[in-house]
Amino acid sequence: MLDRYSIEVIRWPLKQAAKLPDKLGVTANQITLIGFVLGLFALPAIATEHYWLGLLFIALNRIFDGLDGALARRQGITDAGGFLDITLDFLFYSMIPFAFALANPEQNAVAATFLVFSFMGTGSSFLAFAVMASKRNIENPVYQSKSLYYIGGLTEGTETIACFVLFCLFPQYFAEIAWAFGAMCWITTTTRIWAGFQTLKGESVD
């Protein structure tokens, strides 16, 4: 829901930041991998209840995730890069609830499982539509710089990261936040399935 606005806010600083790695010969895919590795450190940090440290690694992961896109737009967007980026993003997203489940299994495990279940809904509806949209050459009028057709919803990347920040700031309320956000994710899944089906139903393969 908020991605179209957050993208506008961060586009210019990321564009400027991408100039240095581009001059140094660093590729967008290398930035993607570095960001993912940094994000992995959030797992042991959160699992051992060092939530502020976990938040730091979450922030670094998201900064590098934005930077790889800005760098890719300078060097040329590729299908391989888009595939790598989205795959590692979804792995990272599912890792954070798992980390909180490890931190407090008795209190957090069921809520974390529900949230990962919810992410399966948002992720599968997102990716399945992207495949079909690409097959039918359906252009995205809003996110034209994305390598995949970016179908929106109530819970997008911006809302997900905000949720992760809340987890780290208020870990004692992880379960309540996870249940609430998971429910919002299912609203997103439902609307994506409906919108995607209606869109594809009216399209024919060229």
Give the Cβ contact number of residue 24 at 10 Å: 7
SS3 127: helix
Distances (CA, A) of 185 to 96, 111, 121, 123, 155: 16, 13, 8, 10, 6
- Give the pair of three-digit tokens for residue 167: 């987890």
Residue appearing with tokens 């949230």 = 115
Q: Is 22 a catalytic residue?
A: no
Q: What are phi and psi of 152, to 5 degrees?
A: -80, -170
**Which of 79, 85, 89, 206 is labelled catalytic?**
89
Report CA 32 to chain centroid distance, whole Å: 13
d(CA 34, CA 32): 6
- Give the pair of three-digit tokens for residue 123: 């992720």
d(CA 27, CA 37): 16
What positions carry a catalytic annotation? 89
